[in-house]
Amino acid sequence: MPPDTLRRVTIVEAVRWTDDGAGVRIIDQTRLPAECVARELRTVDDVCEAIAALRVRGAPAIGIAGAMGLVAALQPHADDPVDRFRWRAASYAERIAGTRPTAVNLPWAVGRLRRRLDAAQGDPPALLAELRAEAELVLAEDRAMCQRIGEHALPLVPDGARVLTHCNAGALATGGIGTALAPLYLAAALGRRIEVLVDETRPLLQGSRLTAWELSRAGIPVTVLTDGMAASLMAAGGVDLCIVGADRIAANGDVANKIGTLGVAILARHFGLPFYVAAPSSTLDPSLADGGGIPIEQRAAGEVVAGFGVRTAPDDVQVYNPAFDVTPAALVTAIVTDAGVFRAPYDFAALGSRPAALG
Ligand code: MRU
């Protein structure tokens, strides 16, 4: 596909350097869709807070923000003695990589910088330059992987398709045009008439707040539904296919993604619909044989019972709030990566060997 194909579609840039190059500029996703405001991250506390609070979120985007954020946080320490600089870099890297447990992209990206630092020689300014170069690679590679995912998945999205997605696996979640949304952007740019059915995605509403926002902004028709409505829409024949992103994919093809994804996959199987997962190779975790070993982030009760400042349950109830679930490979029709479309039995060897994540 020619590089100017997307000219007609405006894609949002979720993470980039600040104008002075010393910090990371993110779109604060907690403020969307009411307002699109940028936030600058300059310290390790800024970076960890932004990732933990989901100001920047989505597996590839937190990897990119973590890597660039490590560089930004170390920038004021370029005058330190080299041993202290290395100690600080290791300690910041560990803090950032541990901020959210499920998406492997975060420890993977930060681990890349750690290994680059370990292999580098010189004084702190020279080491910082090495780290910056690696962070820029993480961003550029992710952008390119999104494009390739979109191209590989494009044949799965025919003209007229009604596509259901869950959570946000778009430009806001990556360094490029997204993963699950990448083929939708490309299909729209090619003039295919598609409609995107967006699960609201309880409890933090990444579907209605973020996916609906970025697709509408790009001029792509969107219908928002609450998560519980997907079954009736499928029963009514209103969905042609499902496509979602991923936070971590085990060696056997089990997929961790936003809570509620498993329900969509079960529904898709019941109604005979294709259920596709789109993810870059940075989301694969070959160290895990299956999804049973994927750490699932548990989040605060208030997100479920007092979301967005409105109390919606009595004070004295227990709350269950895992941020992710695991969809077994058996429910997945295909996994679309930057290296192509994979189907069961999964053999991701074509993606090459991949350095281990940090920690
Ligand atoms: O908690 P979030 O909003 O970071 O969860 C994000 C998701 O589950 C996305 O679907 C996933 O990270 C893929 S993003 C390309």
- Angle, alpha carbons 302-308-311 (nearest 5°): 55
Q: Considering the chain, what percentage of its residues have pLDDT values greater than 70? A: 95
What is the tens place of the pLDDT at every residue in 192-245? 999 999 999 999 999 999 999 999 999 999 999 999 999 999 999 999 999 999
Residue 268 pLDDT > 90: yes
Q: What is the predicted pLDDT for the residue at 133? A: 98
Among 83, 53, 85, 56, residue whose Cα is nearest residue 68: 56
What is the tens place of the pLDDT at every residue in 55-65? 999 999 999 99
User: Is 247 an annotated catalytic residue?
Assistant: yes
What's the 114 CA to ligand 1 centre distance in angstroms?
Answer: 24
What's the 25 CA to ligand 1 centre distance in angstroms?
Answer: 19
What's the 126 CA to ligand 1 centre distance in angstroms?
Answer: 34
Supply the pTM of this predicted model: 0.96
Residue closest via CA to ligand 1's atom 15 equals: 169
| Active-site entry in 46, 199, 240, 247 | 247
- Over the chain, what is the mean pLDDT? 95
What is the tens place of the pLDDT at every residue in 20-53? 999 999 999 999 999 999 999 999 999 999 999 9
Task: Kindly list the protein residues whose Cβ atom lies closer than 6 A to any atom of ligand 1.
Answer: 54, 57-60, 103, 167, 169, 173-174, 179, 206, 245-247, 257-258, 323
What's the 61 CA to ligand 1 centre distance in angstroms?
Answer: 9
Identify the band that residue 7 occupies on the pLDDT scale cut at 50, 70 and 90. very low
What is the tens place of the pLDDT at every residue in 286-309? 999 999 999 999 999 999 999 999
167, 261, 283: which to mutate for ligand 1, most atoms within 8 A of CB?
167
Residue 357 pLDDT > 80: no
Identify the band that residue 352 occupies on the pLDDT scale cut at 50, 70 and 90. low
Residue closest via CA to ligand 1's atom 10 equals: 245
Q: What is the predicted pLDDT for the residue at 353? A: 56
- Which residues lie closer than 8 Å to 215 by C-beta, 6 or more apart? 170, 181, 184, 196, 198, 222
